[in-house]
Every structure is written in structure tokens, then in C-alpha cells.
Homo-oligomer: A and B are copies of this chain.
Amino acid sequence: MAAIDQVLSTIDHNLDAAVQRLFGLLAIPSVSTDPAFAGDCEKACQWLVNELTGLGFDASLRKTAGHPMVVAHAKAKRRDVPHVLFYGHYDVQPADPVELWESYPFAPHIVEAPTGKRIVARGAADDKGQLMTFVEACRAFNETGGLPCDITILFEGEEETGSPSLPAFLAENKTELKADLMLVCDTSMWDQRTPAITTMLRGLVLEEVVIHGASRDLHSGMFGGPAINPIRVLGRIIADIHDDQNRVALPGFYDGVADLPQDVADQWRALDFDPRKFLSEVGLSEPAGEHDRSVLEQIWSRPTCDVNGIIGGYTGKGSKTVLPAQASAKFSFRLVGKQDPDKIVESFRAFVRARLPVDCRVEFIPHGASPALQLPFSSEALGRARRALHQEWDREPVLAGSGGSIPIVGAFKKDLDMDTLMIGFGLDDDRIHSPNEKYEMSSFHKGARSWARVLDALSS
């Protein structure tokens, strides 16, 4: 039996125990955006340190200004092998609205579905289930003679909030974290049987806007008419930020956005992607993005603007005839190509200020800004990973784009000049960031096997 077959067979035998380990991590409500869960974030971090220490890693919890990091190192059995850095995040999105979950979000359990078993819990797919595929691959190597590459692991706890502590941490630990290649497991497969390697990631700018009007809440009977209403100001900004072709109307917004190379455009057109099905699964029928772009372009290779939240005035039951003193909205921009996050922020703020009546003032609260990223198609590591995945899944992996953002990939490219292989086993219907998030058992099991094959291929 070849060494890699032994590793794969060990993963198969260990599956039940691996699921139980994952359940232990999923039971910790490590919601990073809400300070009430800070203790749980640290708990999840320490859980991972303990786990990796048990696998022979030199693992430690590293404090930051926000939630702590896990850093772990282990050497291969051989010398002269590549050194890879694996990145994941142990933090999760808030579980709200909790009332829409069919079970408690932090009580992980198995559900039998027509497509097979699935693991249900907040974080099952994003990103705890995914990062554990890599840890379980390391465990199988460890039990069968040792790792094929030198491995450094970095798990952060602020990915869902734009990774505010990451830049400083990278700057302070450059030497320790530098490797030949970064591996990231926070992306999706093409479908349940077809793997994908993500080569394009959208960037993300998060800006909260607070509009202040009168010095106090007013009675709309007494002041309705002459007094400015901050909700109206926000309404105008939201209405103006897209034109009638659903393009983003910020001046300079599309600077640095290139059209797709013809061969990639052709590959995407050949994919069996059904935009109608993609939308109908969430109750929609008509693409709401740029009129002249396909749905796949809209989510993989085009920049967007969205409002993720808005609040102002009386929002309880019944009515209250109030003119609120303030109203606020959370905006996000998905970036592609060479769009400059700082210039987008600047343009957005100018756009808001230009729509500010004389009696209003605006407050901007930045929640993070990261550029988009693209991996060269000619990369040697990409070729090895494609072959390894082909072997495991018996299908050619799709070279995909991704609508979501993984800030660290940009940061490592910028600060350490490291390329990143993004391989993940999530599915489009995993309900990440939504109630009843799940991760397919096939993703978890074959995900671990895939990483074993990729690590083996990178060291051959």
C-alpha cells in the first residue's frame, strides 16, 4: 500500500471520531462581532491550541487587541519539502434571527438529507467544518509516519468582522509566518461532486453611516414639514447609489475593474450554471445586479454595493409620530481587480457629504477595507493541486471566482508576497450567515482526504 493510501484509509476509519471533535468546536458560540461572546472566542481559540498540541504541533494562543490567534508549527518527516501556511478562522457570524433556526445554533447535530448526512450548526461550513478538514488530514499523516510538508497553521477569530487585528499581527510576526505558499479552506465546491479552486476573491469595504439632524427627537405633528428627517437623507443616498442599470454610481468606482480574459469567460459560459435555479432556491427569479452582466459575473467578477442594515426612529410595535434625531445604515462594497479600497472609501464619503442637507452632519464608522485578489493561472502549485483534486473527485476542478472576501489572502500577498491556494468544500446551499447553516458529511470526509492528497502532491 502506497503511503498516501494509508493516510486516506486512516481518515476513513477515523471519521466518526473526527465528527465528534468538530462538534466540540461547534458547541462554542464564538461570535466575533458581539463583545458579549468575547469569552467564547478565547475558548474556541484555546480548544484549537489544545487540539494541535495533541497532534505534535508547537501551538500557542497569541493575544491581540481583539480576539486571539492560534499559531502552530510542525516539521515534515523529510527535509527539503515545501513549507505551507494554512489559514482558517474560528469565529462565526451572529446566529440571529435565532427564532428561524430549527434547533439551537450551537447544538451541533447530524441531519439525514436526500443528499446524505449533513452537520447542522452555526459555523458548520463557515469556517469550523472547513478548517477541521485540514486538521484531520494532519492527524492522519501524524498517525501514519509524519507530515509531508513543513506546516504552519494560523487561525484567527475576527474574519467575520473584517480582521481588524490582522495587519498589525502580520507585521509583528512576518518572519514566523512566512512560508512558500498559503493554503486557505474558506471557499466552495462547484457542486457536491465537483471540486473547485478559487483563483479570484472579491475585496470588501465596510462603512457605517450615521446621519444626525435635529438636536433631539421631535413630534412630527409639531415639526413635520419644516424639520429635516435623517431617514429621508439616508433614503436619498441609498436611492442614488445605483443608477438605472444597477451600476454603482460613485465617481471612479469602476477604476481598476477589467473585463474577464476571453478564455475564462468561455470556461464560465460552458459551466452548467443555471441562474434561474440559483435565484429560485432563495425565492427570487430576476437578477438584480448590473443589467449587462451574467449572474456568475455579478457574483464572481463584478464589484457591488449593498446596504446590510438600516435603523432610525421608532421601530417597536404600533406607531409613534416621531421625527428622529438620527438614522444609520451599514454599507458594504465588494471589490474586484485592482479597485483601491481607500479610494472607494473616499469616493463614498464624498458622495454622502454631497447629499447632506445643511442641517445634518454625518459620522462615518469604518469596519474594514481589503482589496480583491487574483492567483496567476500559470502557478506551479495550482497545477499540482488541480491534479490531486482530480484524483480524489474523479473530475476536473473548476477554476472559480468568489463573491465573498477573505481579507488575509490580500494581506499575505501584500505584506509577505505569498500566493494562496483557495480550496474549500462548502456548497452554495450551506446557508452560511443564515439560520440552519450546514456542512455536508461528504464535504467534511472527502475534504480531509483532498487535503491529504494536496499536501502529498505539493511535496512530491
Interface check A215, CB cutoff 8 A: yes
CA distance A252 to B97 in the complex (A): 40
Interface check A433, CB cutoff 8 A: yes
CA distance A314 to B311 in the complex (A): 9
Interface check A56, CB cutoff 8 A: no
- The interface on chain A, measured as residues whose beta carbon lies within 8 A of the other chain's beta carbons, has a size of 99
A229 and B358 within 8 A (CB): no
Chain B residue contacts of A98, Cβ below 8 A: none
CA distance A423 to B216 in the complex (A): 27
Taking CB atoms and an 8 Å cut-off, the chain A residues in 90-134 that contact chain B are 93-94, 96-97, 100
Interface check A82, CB cutoff 8 A: no
A314 and B322 within 8 A (CB): no
Q: Contacts A308-B321, A311-B315 given: A358-B285 contact, CB under 8 Å? A: yes
Interface check A383, CB cutoff 8 A: no
Chain B residue contacts of A290, Cβ below 8 A: 225
- Name the residue of chain B whose CB is nearest to the CB of A234: B235
Interface check A236, CB cutoff 8 A: yes
Q: Which of B295, B313, B431, B433 contacts A310 (CB 8 A)?
A: B313
A239 and B235 within 8 A (CB): yes
Chain B residue contacts of A217, Cβ below 8 A: 97, 433-435
Q: Contacts A359-B285, A433-B322 given: A222-B403 contact, CB under 8 Å? A: yes
Q: Which of B35, B219, B310, B323 contacts A311 (CB 8 A)?
A: B310
Interface check A204, CB cutoff 8 A: yes
Taking CB atoms and an 8 Å cut-off, the chain A residues in 137-192 that contact chain B are 160-162
B226 and A279 within 8 A (CB): yes
Chain B residue contacts of A347, Cβ below 8 A: none
- Looking at the assembled complex, report how far the CB atom of A71 sits from the nearest CB atom of chain B, in whole angstroms: 24
Chain B residue contacts of A432, Cβ below 8 A: 219, 222
CA distance A375 to B124 in the complex (A): 67
CA distance A367 to B314 in the complex (A): 14
Most chain B CB neighbours (cut-off 10 Å) among A221, A226, A315: A226
Most chain B CB neighbours (cut-off 10 Å) among A299, A307, A323: A307
Contact surface of A with B, Cβ cutoff 8 Å? 32-35, 93-94, 96-97, 100, 160-162, 202, 204, 206, 208, 213-229, 231-232, 234-240, 242, 275, 278-279, 282-290, 295, 298-299, 302, 304, 306-324, 327, 329-330, 332, 334, 357-359, 367-368, 402-405, 428, 431-435
